[in-house]
Chain A
Amino acid sequence: EPEVTQTPSHQVTQMGQEVILRCVPISNHLYFYWYRQILGQKVEFLVSFYNNEISEKSEIFDDQFSVERPDGSNFTLKIRSTKLEDSAMYFCASSEGGGTEAFFGQGTRLTVV
């Protein structure tokens, strides 16, 4: 069964460092998303991506965040200068169409120290 894969599963980084979280969406999906879940809290939308550009972003997705689809398979989230409050589980998701069910990866747990 096709699945969304994310790497790494866990990343520890020092405050102020840049991190890149990687995702391989399901191959025939056209819409890609990043969500995050701070420990014990709700899952929050960060950004959606379609046709090689950002289609929506939340207030959380400020200038320190960026996304890229560098090739035909990968979808990355970059955090330029990490802060302690960026510590969270980051989920990548993809969907075949806009508004259809999204399939999530296993998540990357980011710990900023």
Chain B
Amino acid sequence: GNSVTQMEGPVTLSEEAFLTINCTYTATGYPSLFWYVQYPGEGLQLLLKATKADDKGSNKGFEATYRKETTSFHLEKGSVQVSDSAVYFCALVDAYSGAGSYQLTFGKGTKLSVIP
């Protein structure tokens, strides 16, 4: 079956530090990959996505590149802000495998805290 593995949190960084949150996946087909963010007290928001190998998703200074050879989709940001404090979820949907499924498979989430 499909699965997503994220680095364990929590992660605490100082403002303007570099962020990497690792994400690797297993999938039976050729998945689309997503990062969702959950700010305190709020729902899930799509942060960025990539649908094929070597695609780079980007939004709000965050980036992630779909690496098929390493089955990875690591999230990076060059300079984090206090407002980036949230829980980040890596996810995949494997719609185009032999048993195509439209459900999202999520990682466990990584809590990021950015301190001034």
**A contact set with B: CB distance below 8 Å:** 6, 31, 33, 35, 41-45, 48, 55-56, 58, 91, 93, 95, 98-107
Q: Helix, strand, loop or mixed for chain A's interface?
A: strand
The 8 Å CB contact of A43, one of B46, B101, B102, B106, is B106
- Report whether B103 and A58 are in contact in the complex, using a CB–CB cutoff of 8 Å: yes
**B contact set with A: CB distance below 8 Å:** 32, 34, 36, 42-46, 49, 89, 91, 93, 95-96, 100-109
List of B residues within 8 angstroms of A103 by Cβ: 46
CA distance A99 to B91 in the complex (A): 12
CA distance A7 to B108 in the complex (A): 25
Q: Could you list 18 A-B pairs, sorted by A, with CB under 8 Å?
A: A6-B43, A33-B102, A33-B103, A42-B106, A42-B107, A42-B108, A43-B106, A43-B109, A48-B102, A56-B102, A99-B32, A99-B102, A102-B46, A102-B104, A104-B36, A104-B46, A105-B43, A107-B43
In angstroms, how far is the closest chain B Cβ from the Cβ of A45? 4
Q: Helix, strand, loop or mixed for chain B's interface?
A: strand
CA distance A33 to B109 in the complex (A): 20
- Report whether A91 and B44 are in contact in the complex, using a CB–CB cutoff of 8 Å: yes
- Report whether B34 and A98 are in contact in the complex, using a CB–CB cutoff of 8 Å: no
